[in-house]
Chain A
Amino acid sequence: EAGVAQSPRYKIIEKRQSVAFWCNPISGHATLYWYQQILGQGPKLLIQFQNNGVVDDSQLPKDRFSAERLKGVDSTLKIQPAKLEDSAVYLCASSSGLAGGPGNEQFFGPGTRLTVL
Chain B
Amino acid sequence: AQSVTQPDIHITVSEGASLELRCNYSYGATPYLFWYVQSPGQGLQLLLKYFSGDTLVQGIKGFEAEFKRSQSSFNLRKPSVHWSDAAEYFCAVGAQGAQKLVFGQGTRLTINP
Check if B43 is an interface residue, CB within 8 A of chain A.
Answer: yes
Q: Which of A68-76, A79-87, A104-112 contacts B (4 or more CB under 8 A)?
A: A104-112
* Number of chain A residues close to chain B: CB under 8 A: 29
Tell me if B71 is interfacial: C-beta within 8 Å of chain A.
no
Q: Residues on B close to A: CB < 8 A? A: 4, 32, 36, 41-46, 49, 51, 90, 92, 96-106
Contact, CB under 8 Å: B103 / A43? yes
A108 to B45 alpha-carbon distance, docked (Å):
7
Given known pairs A102-B51, A103-B32, A103-B51, the reply for A43 and B99 (CB within 8 Å) is no
User: Which residues of A line the B interface, CB within 8 A?
Assistant: 3-4, 31, 40-45, 48, 55-56, 91, 93, 95, 97, 99-111
**Would you call the interface of chain A mostly helix, strand, loop, or mixed?**
loop
Alpha-carbon gap, A43 to B4, bound state (A): 12
The answer to whether B100 touches A97, judged by C-beta atoms less than 8 angstroms apart, is no
Q: Is the CB of A43 within 8 A of B98?
A: no
Q: Do A56 and B100 have beta carbons less than 8 Å apart?
A: yes
Q: Are A4 and B43 in contact (CB under 8 A)?
A: yes
Q: Is the CB of B97 within 8 A of A103?
A: yes
Q: Is the CB of B42 within 8 A of A97?
A: no
Smallest Cβ-Cβ distance to B44: which chain A residue: A108
Q: Which of B4, B43, B49, B103 counts the most chain A CB atoms within 10 A?
A: B43
